[in-house]
Amino acid sequence: MVDSRFEQYVGANLNGFVKDVVRLASQPSVSARKEGVEECAVLVETMLREIGAEARSLRVEGAPPLVYGELKSTKSSKTVLFYNHYDVQPEEPLELWKSPPFKPEVRDGKVYGRGVSDDKGELVSRLKLVEAYCKTAGGPPCNVKFCFEGEEETGSVHLHQYVEKYPELFKSDAVVWEYGTVDVAGRPKVTLGVKGMIYVEFVLQELSQDAHSSYAAVLPSAPWRMVRMLDILKGKDERILVPGWYDGVETLSEEEVEVLDAQEFNDQAFRKNYGAKQFVGGMDGTMAKKALVRRPTGNIAGIWAGYQGPGSKTVLPKEVHCKMDFRLVPDQDPDELLKKLREYLDANGYADVRMEVESMEPAARTSFKDPFAQAAIRAAEKTYGTKPIVELSSPGTGPLYLFTRRYKMPSVDIGVSSEDGAIHAPNENLTVENLRKGILWVAETMELFSAS
């Protein structure tokens, strides 16, 4: 059980914690543009040392630093690893921000700025949790390790190299994953896994140069051919049409089905948040809730060709680009599916289309019956005074498999953010009260796990 002195320290120093969120979020670190990432790593390492942790920046060729830290406990031999990332998404569109994205502001009980929720606010909350323990109890209830990477937002493409190069550093008994939320009704969510992903860019070229659009009468159109290719990838029922795509897709146990059925999901609030009149295919709320956990997806993330400026330009583009992400569920193998995707395109007349792979990650999941998961669930109820929402899996993706597979350690996604925090969007925000309660939640989880 969290000591009252710990709780009082967190409350008394909350404004200082917020200032450190602002401090970190003021340093741009857009991995997609390689902007400010190195400088941000230096700041993160400094902040780790400020709480008394041993810290250093690890390096592998071609990758931003992975900031690693440790703090030993005298109370338990167990070790909890905190995984977070210090890189952020690009801030565009700038015109929709009410305040500059890299000059965070506190307004009406919330901090606004790029990365204040995903993931710098979460990262700072882990640091401040440990600081509070050091100030009030001489140290944390168990050993703590910190793994803060700098390219999660671009697919964590080098994280496996870090794990392979420094395997002993990350060995732990459990991992608190990067991001945790409270829903719009104030209920904490314990998330136990992530979907996998294949992210590719298709490049289709038909001409050696752009042509006058009047020649469309005789010259082939790259955009039209791309549209036809995309049309054979997914049916109107949302099922991916590549043969074998669903082979071996997991079957949930009866207990897992019960957990999923019990998971509360406010479908009206969810749609309202995104301005959606209905779910895909006319699904009701129950079907949508299950799809977020169990349905593989094929999403067009971006498509572009030709002229996109103001006014008109009559042009026949020489080529077209399309980025797609395919979300995967447990038991789907990204390498195997990528091969099937290539074979399918080749067999249907698209062998000339380049397919550039940007990232691949399999899904990962922890059993809700695991002691660490149960500790997080009990801690949530104690901290918030209400039963948490237990999610078998997030609909999102992260490199969780690197830890759950290699080290066989359980993982929970819990933290300080909110469901409507506008992550990856303009006016991203973090509620100050969620920061306070989330720190207490994670601390209570560590206490219960250490004592079990």
Whether the predicted pLDDT of 43 surpasses 90: yes
Of 8-22, 60-74, 245-259, the range with the lowest mean pLDDT is 245-259
> What's the 3-state SS for the chain?
CCCHHHHHHHHHCHHHHHHHHHHHHCCCCECCCCECHHHHHHHHHHHHHHCCCEEEEECCCCCCCEEEEEECCCCCCCEEEEEEECCECCCCCHHHCCCCCCCCEEECCEEECCCCCCCHHHHHHHHHHHHHHHHHHCCCCCEEEEEEECCHHHCCCCHHHHHHHCCCCCCCCEEECCCCEECCCCCEEEECEEEEEEEEEEEEECCCCCEEHHHHHCCCCHHHHHHHHHHCCECCCCCECCCCCCCCCCCCCHHHHHHHHHCCCCHHHHHHHHCCCCCHHHCCHHHHHHHHHHCCEEEEEEEECCCCCCCCCCEECCEEEEEEEEEECCCCCHHHHHHHHHHHHHHCCCCCCEEEEEEEECCEECCCCCHHHHHHHHHHHHHHCCCCEEECCEEEECCCHHHHHHCCCCEEECCCEECCCCCCCCCCEEEHHHHHHHHHHHHHHHHHHHHC
Res 42 pLDDT > 90: yes
Query: Across all residues in the chain, what is the average pLDDT?
Result: 96
**Per-residue model confidence (pLDDT) at position 266:** 87
Q: What is the arithmetic mean of pLDDT over 421-425?
A: 94
The band of 429, judged by pLDDT with boundaries at 50, 70 and 90, is very high
pLDDT for 252 equals 87
Q: pTM to 2 decimals?
A: 0.87
Q: Where are the domains of the chain?
A: 4-192+366-451, 195-249+296-361
> Could you read off the pLDDT of 303-332 as tens digits, one per residue?
999 999 999 999 999 999 999 999 999 999
Q: Which CATH class is domain 195-249+296-361?
A: alpha beta
- Fold for domain 4-192+366-451? Aminopeptidase (3.40.630)
Q: Dump pLDDT digits (tens) for 325-371.
A: 999 999 999 999 999 999 999 999 999 999 999 989 999 999 999 99
The reported pLDDT for the residue numbered 149 is 97
pLDDT digits 0-9 by tens, 179-195 = 999 988 899 999 999 99
